[in-house]
Chain A
Amino acid sequence: MRAVVVTFPGSNCDYDCLQVLRKVMGVDTRFIWHREHELGDPDLVVLPGGFSYGDYLRAGAIARFSPIVEAVKRYAGRGGIVLGICNGFQILCEAGLLPGALRRNDSLKFRSHDVHVRVETTDTAFTRAYRPGQVLRIPIAHAEGNYIADPGTLERLEAERRVVFRYTTRAGARGEGGNPNGSANDIAGIVNPAGNVLGLMPHPERAAEGVLGSTDGLGMFESLVAHFARERVA
């Protein structure tokens, strides 16, 4: 399995993603600069967190015009697996690879702390290693994570079970202060209709080693590695 992590000017979680993929999971992983036009032929593309282009105009709005994002669109169109974390999720929405948008947190504050998210579907390449309904403790670090989409899109996301992660309490209950940013339907992460592009605001790569205080994010990377191991056998 081979992975690339796209680095934009202002990315700051690129090394965290490299660390978990290369060091923890042993995946052949390299960085790719946003000015590149080709991805090579990876199995996984990660758009990491950070503040690409200083979040000028809107988070992700300018990054999506980077040459590499055109390559990511072509790759995703062929079914390639794309994971967008935090700023990466914002870029995927701005680029139209995922529906909706991420607005300013309802608190107006930059929220940087652990949250609890419930795994809503394990039927994706990103979540097979989890149990359905499993509650994960994973950090967030964002000012614009307030997911919104028009009512029709929200209905479709729910009906098609494309809400993959939802903010909950520690016990896995909705409401009661579990939602850190005002996201519609407590949405923390979604996939595209084909299931190969996932975006989420929490940072699984920051919860992937014991020394980080939680290993609840590791399941996502284990799921992806298992996915490609299975593909090779098939």
Chain B
Amino acid sequence: MSAYVIEIRVTPRRGLLDPQGKAIQHALDSLGFAGVGEVRAGKLLVIELEADSADEAAARATRMCEKLLANPVTEDFVIEVGRAAAQPEAAT
């Protein structure tokens, strides 16, 4: 078993109006930031997970998203699997 850190980005589904993203886009515009296109606001979940392999960790994270973390009607998700940083005592 290895320790992984899964980062899951959940964003409003493409093509759906995202009022929060729109409001942020307008705010950036009015602050003078040029060239700002569509903004979408979502959430980032960071999950520590013990798994046998990165593939298994990704598969489990996908099931988590399908079951709880993202609503398939309104949200898309992207999963990134990374190795957890070594514990300090393991490093010495």
**Contact residues of A with B, CB < 8 Å?**
57-58, 61-62, 65, 93-94, 100-101, 103-108, 148-150, 182
Q: A57-B68, A58-B71, A148-B74 are in contact. Are A106 and B17 (CB under 8 A)?
A: yes
Interface centre among A57, A93, A107 (most CB of B within 10 A): A57
Inter-chain CA distance A182–B19, complex, in Å, is 10
Interface residues on B, range: 10 to 19
Tell me, yes or no, whether B73 is within 8 Å of chain A by CB. yes
Tell me which of B20, B23, B69, B74 contacts A101 (CB under 8 A).
B74
Answer yes or no: B16 CB below 8 A from chain A CBs.
yes
Partner of A108, one of B16, B20, B74: B20
User: Main SS of chain A's interface residues?
Assistant: loop
Closest A residue to B71 by CB, please name it: A101
A61 touches B71 (CB 8 A): yes
Tell me, rounded to whole Å, the shortest Cβ–Cβ distance linking B6 to chain A: 16
Known A-B contacts A57-B68, A61-B68; A149 and B73 likewise in contact (beta carbons under 8 Å) = yes
- B28–chain A nearest beta-carbon distance, Å: 16
Query: How near does chain B come to A127, taking the closest CB pair, in angstroms?
Result: 25
**Cβ-defined contact, B69 with A106, below 8 A:** no
CB within 8 Å of A: which B1-33 residues: 12, 16-17, 19-20, 23
A103 x B68 contact (CB < 8 A):
no
Digitize B63-74: 1 where CB-to-A-CB distance is under 8 Å, 0 elsewhere. 000001101011
Do the beta carbons of B74 and A103 come within 8 Å of each other?
Answer: yes
Bound Cα distance A149, B71 (Å): 11
Within the complex, the shortest CB–CB distance from A160 to chain B, in Å, comes to 19
Interchain nearest-CB distance for B47 vs A (Å): 13
Q: How far is the CA of A94 from the CA of B20 in the complex (A)?
A: 21
Q: Are B68 and A105 in contact (CB under 8 A)?
A: no
Does the CB pair A150–B68 fall under 8 Å? no
Partner of A100, one of B16, B19, B23, B73: B73
Residue contact A57 to B19, C-beta cutoff 8 Å: no
23 A-B pairs (CB sep. < 8 Å): A57-B68, A58-B71, A61-B68, A61-B71, A62-B68, A93-B73, A100-B73, A101-B71, A101-B73, A101-B74, A103-B12, A103-B16, A103-B74, A104-B19, A104-B20, A106-B19, A107-B19, A108-B19, A108-B20, A108-B23, A148-B16, A148-B73, A182-B19
